[in-house]
Chain A
Amino acid sequence: MHPLKLVDSLPSVASPRRVGRRLLRSSLLDALAYPHGVDRYLELVRPLLVKHQVRAEVTAVRCQTPKSVTLRLRPNETWRGLRAGQFVGLSVEIDGVRETRPYSPAGSQHAAGGVLELTVSTHPEGKVSRYLRDHARPGMIVGLTQAEGDFVLPDPRPERVLLISGGSGITPVMAMLRTLCDEGFAGEIGFLNYARSSALALYGAELDRLVDRHDGVRVARGFTRGRRLPLGGRFRREHLGAVISEHADAATFVCGPPTLIDAVRAVWTQDGLSEPAVETFTQPPLSFDTDGAEGLVSFAASGREAANSGLPLLEQAEDAGLTPDHGCRMGICNTCSCHKTAGTVRNIITGEISTARDEQIRICVSVPVGDVALDL
């Protein structure tokens, strides 16, 4: 047995550190820190000490390509781990505002110490991605959510796994590949990896290394611009043979832009196969029409839905038979403030349009622009 494992399996001893930790979690301390909670004091000593929030320290930063930044993160003890393919919400404060974006970690779920690797592709309009590229440094503290998502490898592992990715969509399938390699997976893994050009392709050297070390792993690349070799451009049925002996019975995971997902789906439908697991990072295009109201308003907590009538969301909720908390109905008192999980709203007082996921809005002065989901 590995010596480290031996140490791990010893019965827990009351080390000073462990006693300290237990004390920090005691209800006595909670009562003394009432009503703010122990975290609000601990974080002033060290931000990672908080026990009710996941936070992580950036431990390394590198740029694989000119349009991406790769971070290594060490999460605090609140982190419950993840399954390869899941995503986390990463929060940073930019000009006073806490911005949160979903990213799929690219590292193995068995990484030592729960260390996470995030590769963030920068977009010209991407506030968070550009901020991370320009400002992420070792020692920086970021906020995380627990891992979410069911784009994950099944348990027990299938015999044959096919991974297909386009652009920044490589991250969750890279996590799957690394996880399977760490597990000593004995089956067959095929990986079709598409990128704009070889200069912008992520994880090129690492994929080569994994192919060298693991017998069952086959990787083929396609570039959609410039020299389109070796696969020759975008996904086609013929590419499958380059990496997998039989795609029909392979557990298939596709992550990338909608065009890639549609192309793969078309082949699977032609072959009469059940849908592959898919994930896309691209938001559907927004339709702006300030005159004619359109879209669907969904009230997640009550499970109700209604067509957007163009009225403020408070009135739409009431029309749908809900009785949300409210007060002034004029954007003053904040009583109606409500969690918006997705969608775009316009503030009728300021005209401000807000597209952020997971934000508080005052529903008495917010009208939907297209589909909106509220936690009501």
Chain B
Amino acid sequence: MSTPAPSLTPEQLEAFGQELDAIRARVVADLGERDADYINKVIRTQRGLEVAGRALLLLGFLPPAWIGGTAALSLSKILDNMEIGHNVMHGQYDWMKDPRLNGKTFEWDTACPGDQWRHSHNYMHHTHTNIVGKDRDIGYGILRMSEEERWHPYYLGNPLYAALLAVFFQYGVALHDLEAERLAAGETTLAEKRGMLGDIWRKVRGQTLKDYLLFPLLSGPSLPFVLAGDASANLARNLWSFTIIFCGHFPDGTQQFTEEQAENETRGEWYYRQLLGSANLTGGKLFHILAGNLSFQIEHHLFPDLPAHRYAEISAEVSEITERYRIPYNTGPLHRQFGSVVRKIGKLALPPLPGRGSSEPNHEEAAKAQGQELTAAA
């Protein structure tokens, strides 16, 4: 098993949970104008980039305008989905009591209907993080991302499926809640999913109409340039969000769990599982904003409903706490983390080597290795 039981005593876990609760309480008490100004500024920037991008693409026959327009529209979609949509839909700004930023009703500029995302992501993924068999973000029902999943010749296509998922990521996310693998296995039927399909169809129709019909048609002679610009912006957003999201839970050292391990969890144990199952990315301020601050995946999984721009501030405290409890705090630059994800996708395409158990370092070793690294760094 690559997923050992927690090695902290119940008392330690309790104290650990209380320390994290204290961080949360302090941030919640401090929420105010600064946070409201921040998200409003991000939204203004996103809307500005969107309008500017669409306007520049009208002159898309001029190469600099096409490049600028496509870049602005790509950034707009990335901001809309990551720092705004994902975070607002977590309820991070519900305390503002602004109906425009209500986590229950917000809708984003991507194929996945907000309501389905709220279920598949906020509930399924965040509550059952990295529990094999419950967290459908482990491989999205398409890929083999865990050794606990039995190998099948189908998984020889793991790298190909991952590449296709990256290119068409917005549709992959939109179809996520349909549970394609359960449909294929006959455990559920299309008839049961009819309401869901209808919602997906309406959302996809709205998105397609806007990006691939109305804006191109309204642009007259620039039609092919607008079409290409819109498609490129959607592609750029797909590749970027796929990369960031796959770096959240799959890099080397992240742990996966069984349903039994997560049974009757205390709050401290839940925090502990979130920590072991998530990985951060290092980078500059702009990088974090474009990543929707999911580069602080650990902090996000501990406190999914705190405004994400706060994660950077509390990450120092969180890593200090993990150091004291000798819990691994998994972080690294994008190229290293994503590199290890790509290797895992490739490795798990193949059947387990005979005579070898888990090829993953087990938790004890990982904790020890991380502890040594941290001690060395200190």
- Bound CA span A159–B74, Å: 67
Contact B103 A334 (CB under 8 A): yes
- Bound CA span A95–B97, Å: 12
What total of chain B residues lie within 8 Å of the partner, measured CB to CB?
A: 47
Contact B97 A99 (CB under 8 A): yes
Contact B32 A328 (CB under 8 A): no
One of B95, B210, B304 near A31 (C-beta < 8 A): B210
Contact A96 B32 (CB under 8 A): yes
CB of A6 within 8 Å of the partner chain: no
Residues of B within 8 A of A32 (CB): 210, 214-215, 218
Interface positions, chain B 57-107, Cβ under 8 Å from A, are 90-91, 94-98, 100, 102-104, 107
Interface positions, chain B 285-301, Cβ under 8 Å from A, are none
CB of A230 within 8 Å of the partner chain: no
Interface positions, chain A 248-281, Cβ under 8 Å from B, are none
Residues of B within 8 A of A327 (CB): 119, 122-124, 127
One of A98, A328, A337 near B103 (C-beta < 8 A): A337
Residues of B within 8 A of A44 (CB): 44, 47-48
Q: A96-B32, A97-B97, A359-B97 are in contact. Are A334 and B122 (CB under 8 A)?
A: yes
Contact A96 B100 (CB under 8 A): no
Contact A337 B104 (CB under 8 A): yes
One of A93, A332, A335, A359 near B119 (C-beta < 8 A): A335
- Bound CA span A204–B47, Å: 49
Q: Mark B100-128, 1 if CB is under 8 A from A, else 0.
A: 10111001110000000011001110110
Contact A333 B126 (CB under 8 A): yes
CB of A40 within 8 Å of the partner chain: yes
Interface positions, chain B 168-212, Cβ under 8 Å from A, are 203, 206-207, 209-210
Contact B96 A334 (CB under 8 A): no
Smallest CB gap from B100: residue in A: A40
Interface positions, chain A 307-331, Cβ under 8 Å from B, are 327-328, 330-331
- Bound CA span A99–B33, Å: 13
Contact A36 B109 (CB under 8 A): yes
CB of A28 within 8 Å of the partner chain: yes
Contact A332 B33 (CB under 8 A): no
Contact A337 B33 (CB under 8 A): no
Q: How far is the CB of A75 from chain B (nearest CB, A)?
A: 18
- Bound CA span A93–B98, Å: 9
A residues contacting B by CB (< 8 A) are 28, 31-32, 34-36, 40-41, 44, 93, 95-100, 327-328, 330-335, 337, 349-350, 356, 359-360, 362
For this complex, 16 residue pairs linking A to B, each with C-beta atoms less than 8 Å apart, are A31-B209, A34-B209, A34-B210, A40-B100, A93-B36, A93-B96, A96-B32, A96-B35, A96-B36, A97-B97, A98-B97, A327-B123, A349-B21, A350-B25, A360-B91, A360-B97
Cβ-closest 9 pairs across A and B: A327-B123, A96-B36, A334-B91, A35-B107, A328-B127, A95-B32, A333-B122, A333-B123, A98-B97
Apart from A28-B214, A35-B203, 13 more pairs, CB < 8 Å: A32-B214, A35-B109, A40-B47, A40-B100, A93-B96, A95-B36, A98-B96, A327-B124, A332-B127, A334-B118, A334-B305, A337-B94, A359-B97
